Amino acid sequence: MQKEMVSGSPRPALALLVAAGPVMAAAALGNIATIPNIPIWYAGLVKPSFNPPNWIFGPVWTTLYVMMAYAFYRVLRAPAPAAARRAAIIAFLVQIALNAGWSWAFFAAHSPLGGLLVIGPLLIAIAATIVAFRRVDAAAAWLLAPYLAWVSFASVLNAAVWRLNA
């Protein structure tokens, strides 16, 4: 069976499935850990004055996940050396796993400290993914910039929640 490849990259439909799969899985796993804990556990936490209203998180994360999937799609489709593409794919998969892991550490485990222990490596992994994506497709790297900014803000928020509730 011949693989469907164009310039060493999967065809658009296959690339779209491959790009969307891990992002949708992370979003779904994150929601499973998060949503049941918002009205009970999270609502009872003391939060800093700069904590956004709960309704903002859904649209922000939806937008970020769409941008992540599109960036990953671009990397999968870009004509690039195999080693650069492989490094970008690995970096992306590591950061998306940490992304889902944060929800489980913070919300499911009811642990702001656990969230901090995951969000630090997540920030590093996002930055590494941006660097790896840049070597394959500059636009894909830029598509992750808002994600890095939001997770940077989330890390400050996470630290404040931990401090206020310790």
Q: pTM, whole model, 2 decimals?
A: 0.92
Please say whether the beta carbons of 72 and 100 come within 8 A. no
Q: Where are the domains of the chain?
A: 5-165
Please say whether the beta carbons of 15 and 79 come within 8 A. no
- Helix (H) / strand (E) element for 164: namely helix 145-165
Segment-wise mean pLDDT, segments of 10 residues, the chain, 166 residues: 49 90 97 96 97 96 98 95 96 98 98 98 98 98 98 98 97
The span from the CA of 137 to the CA of 142, in Å, is 9
Q: Which amino acid is at 57?
A: F
Q: What is the pLDDT of residues 72-81, one digit of tens each?
A: 999 999 999 9
Q: What is the pLDDT of residues 49-88, one digit of tens each?
A: 999 999 999 999 999 999 999 999 999 999 999 999 999 9
CATH class of the 5-165 domain in this structure: mainly alpha
User: What's residue 1's pLDDT?
Assistant: 38
Which residues in the chain belong to E strands, given as ranges? Answer: 5-6, 9-10
